[in-house]
């Protein structure tokens, strides 16, 4: 999951970025509206966190400009004033959710997960495709009710694939959405992760959850079945 974080207050920006990275997100941080606009247009993000009070270009203008530039990823706005006027205006201009400062980081993480999930068409926090269930809240994966032990990167890869279940996800997409900018893109780490995931999820090789589309990428092949339990 690649996140754009636009916040002018350096300490808050750095702590948030550190926390998000620790949780397995790829984070690009910008310190003002113009930088945010540049990154927001150039990088395929999965979500943007934008503070409303920004120098050079206000958060409200940034949200509007990103939407006008055709960016569809969910946007969460941070507001210090927390007045309804701000919230309504922000949401009207294209934001999808808001948080009033100061907030619990856990709250922010929960909102991010929900927004990303919603953006890829999942309404419930548990993504279910046949026997494979991924709980975005608990960050656990189970196959036929049995928990599968995954590393954080494996989890992120699977989450990304399952969020886009049925769609073709290119290697470039996966790398960009999961790794930091400085990650070595030419390595075959991704193939290794996919191989390990296949083994962990489908040791007998009967489910074949992840399909390789030769020369183009991967596809999560088991169709979505919305989970009943929450």
Partner 1 sequence: MDADTALPSPAAKATTNEPLPPRRPFSLAARAALATGLVLAAFLGVVGLTLSRTNADNALKDQQERLENFVTAYLSGMEVVNRTGKVFLPDTPPDQAFSRPGSGLYAVVIGDNNLRLESPSAIGRDFGFLRQLQPGESEFGPVDTRMGRLYYYAYGVSWDLSDRKSIPLTVMVAQTEDVIEGQNAETRRSLVFWLSSLGVMLILLQLLLLRWSLTPLRKVATEMSRVERGHAEHLDNQYPLELTGLTERINAFIDSEREQRTRYRNTLADLAHSLKTPLAVIRSRLELAGENTPFRGDVLDQVRRMDELVAYQLARAATSGRQTFATTAVPFAEHAEDLVQSLEKVYAAKNVLCEFDIDEGAVFYGEQGDLLELMGNLLENAFKWARHRVLLVVRFEPQAGRQRPDLWLSVEDDGPGIDEDKVEKVLQRGVRGDERVQGHGIGLSIVQDIVRAYKGELTVDRSPEFGGARFAVRLPSG
Residue carrying the six token digits 């690649």: 2
The phi and psi torsions of 29 (rounded to 5 degrees) equal: -105, 140
Looking at 35, 46, 96, 154, which residue binds partner 1 (CB under 8 A)? 96
Looking at 39, 57, 91, 143, which residue binds partner 1 (CB under 8 A)? 91
Q: Which residues pair with 28 in a beta bridge?
A: 4
Stretch in the footprint of partner 1 (CB under 8 A) among 32-40, 97-105, 135-143, 204-212? 97-105
Q: At what angle do helices 152-163 and 189-201 cross, to 10 degrees?
A: 80
Residue carrying the six token digits 């919230």: 87
The phi and psi torsions of 11 (rounded to 5 degrees) equal: -60, -40
Rg (CA), the chain: 18
Distances (CA, A) of 38 to 28, 29, 31, 50, 62: 11, 11, 11, 13, 10
Phi-psi region at 80: left, alpha or beta (left = phi > 0; alpha = psi -120 to 50): alpha
Quote the tokens at residue 51: 């503070």
Q: Which is nearer to partner 1, 14 or 211 (CB)?
A: 14
Least distance (Å) from partner 1 to the CB of residue 121? Answer: 11
Least distance (Å) from partner 1 to the CB of residue 181? Answer: 22
Quote the tokens at residue 109: 């993480």
Q: Which is nearer to partner 1, 112 or 157 (CB)?
A: 112
Q: Is residue 107 near partner 1 by the rule CB under 8 A?
A: yes
Q: Which is nearer to partner 1, 11 or 215 (CB)?
A: 11
Residues numbered 49 to 88 that lie near partner 1 (CB under 8 A) are: 53, 80-85, 87-88
Total residues contacting partner 1 by CB under 8 A comes to 34
Q: Which is nearer to partner 1, 118 or 224 (CB)?
A: 118
Q: Which is nearer to partner 1, 103 or 183 (CB)?
A: 103
Where on the chain is the footprint of partner 1 (CB under 8 A)? 9, 11-12, 15-16, 18-19, 53, 80-85, 87-88, 91-92, 96-107, 114, 118, 123-124
């Amino acid at each position: 999951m690649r996140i754009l974080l636009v916040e002018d207050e350096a300490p808050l920006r750095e702590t948030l970025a550190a926390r998000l990275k620790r949780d397995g997100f790829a984070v690009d941080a910008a310190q003002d509206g113009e930088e945010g606009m540049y990154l927001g247009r150039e990088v395929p993000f999965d979500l943007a966190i934008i503070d409303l009070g920004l120098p050079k270009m206000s958060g409200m203008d940034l949200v509007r400009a990103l939407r006008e530039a055709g960016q569809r990823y969910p946007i969460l706005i941070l507001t210090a004033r927390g007045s309804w006027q701000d919230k309504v205006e922000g949401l009207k201009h294209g934001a999808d959710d808001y948080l009033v400062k100061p907030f619990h980081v856990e709250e922010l993480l929960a909102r991010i997960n929900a927004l990303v999930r919603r953006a890829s068409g999942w309404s419930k926090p548990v993504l279910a495709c046949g026997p494979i269930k991924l709980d975005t809240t608990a960050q656990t994966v189970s196959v036929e009710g049995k928990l599968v032990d995954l590393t954080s990167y494996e989890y992120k890869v699977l989450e990304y694939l399952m969020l886009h279940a049925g769609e073709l996800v290119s290697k470039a997409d996966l790398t960009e959405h999961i790794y930091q900018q400085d990650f070595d893109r030419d390595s075959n780490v991704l193939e290794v992760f996919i191989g390990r995931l296949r083994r962990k999820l489908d040791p007998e090789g009967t489910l074949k959850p992840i399909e390789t589309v030769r020369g183009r990428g991967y596809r999560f092949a088991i169709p979505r079945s919305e989970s009943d339990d929450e």
